[in-house]
């Protein structure tokens, strides 16, 4: 089985190195790597292309495509068109694999199975403090209950169900819910796939994220309680803003010694 790993980016010169090196460090070589850049004006593309020789030495096909796009999901759709693997996986700039054996573990645990969707767990990182995103596709009708940075979709399926770019934040949720309602097989495997930062678009634009998620469910005929969800999201956002004002040393003490959180050294 061959996996296509796709990174979509735009002006990510500060983050692209960490993501690319995470891919390069994988022990498996049964993958190809595609970077879809949205026409960056900084050094993102230059940094990415500096790894061409390293991937060639590893025996991994590496493609950097840079052109203007209509946003992150349009970039993802372009990556899908370039993909030649059996499964497609997105690891966006600023995210990184949980370990250097992730792809090998996924391939091993899948064996001869070929479900439409394969997913594991991941960690979300907030200023070095990491929490587990425990996933379960059976709740997709209620919310995005699997993590996009921990999900692979069979290539033939994702080509027929590309991202709806009218959504700016929740197109991944729309895709997963669409596949679920179509009766596609979802296979959860015991692998922690990646770490992703809470600095992402859907994390920073909480209210818009909730509204789009409600739009997705309603488009599939699923009733929503939009006002209650927005109320909860605003409360969560206020807590997050307060938490981020707490001095770093106090947060470290609380999470290390009181809450016993996972700790990520970046």
pLDDT, residue 201, reads: 45
Pick from 30, 39, 37, 41: nearest CA to 16: 37
CATH number at 3-263 = 3.90.550.10
Beta carbons within 8 Å of 160's beta carbon, 6+ residues apart: none
| Mean pLDDT, contiguous 10-residue spans, the chain (266 residues) | 97 96 97 98 98 98 97 97 98 94 97 96 74 88 94 98 96 98 97 80 70 96 91 74 67 57 44
Q: What is the pLDDT of residues 170-200, one digit of tens each?
A: 999 999 999 999 999 999 999 999 998 766 4
pLDDT, residue 143, reads: 93
pLDDT, residue 16, reads: 97
Q: What is the pLDDT of residues 22-50, one digit of tens each?
A: 999 999 999 999 999 999 999 999 999 99
């Amino acid at each position: 089985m061959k996996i296509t790993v796709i990174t979509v980016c735009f002006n990510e010169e500060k983050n692209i190195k960490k993501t690319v090196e995470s891919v390069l460090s994988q022990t498996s070589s049964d993958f190809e790597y595609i970077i879809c850049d949205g026409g960056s004006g900084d050094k993102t593309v230059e940094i990415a292309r500096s790894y061409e020789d390293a991937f060639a030495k590893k025996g991994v096909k590496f493609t950097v495509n840079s052109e203007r796009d209509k946003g992150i999901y349009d970039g993802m759709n372009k990556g899908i068109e370039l993909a030649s693997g059996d499964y497609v996986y997105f690891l966006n700039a600023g995210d990184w694999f949980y370990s250097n054996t992730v792809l090998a573990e996924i391939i091993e645990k899948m064996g001869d199975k070929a479900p439409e969707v394969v997913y594991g767990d991941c960690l979300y990182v907030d200023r070095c403090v990491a929490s587990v995103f425990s996933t379960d596709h059976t709740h997709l009708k209620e919310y995005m209950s699997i993590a996009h940075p921990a999900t692979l979709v069979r290539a033939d399926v994702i080509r027929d169900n590309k991202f709806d770019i009218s959504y700016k934040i929740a197109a991944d949720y729309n895709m997963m819910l669409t596949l679920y309602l179509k009766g596609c097989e979802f296979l959860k495997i015991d692998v922690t796939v990646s770490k992703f930062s809470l600095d992402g678009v859907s994390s920073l634009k909480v209210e818009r994220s909730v509204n789009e998620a409600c739009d997705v469910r309603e488009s599939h005929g699923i009733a929503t309680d939009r006002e209650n969800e927005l109320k909860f999201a605003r409360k969560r956002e206020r807590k997050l803003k307060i938490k981020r004002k707490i001095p770093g040393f106090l947060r470290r003490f609380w999470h290390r010694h009181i809450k016993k959180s996972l700790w990520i050294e970046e």
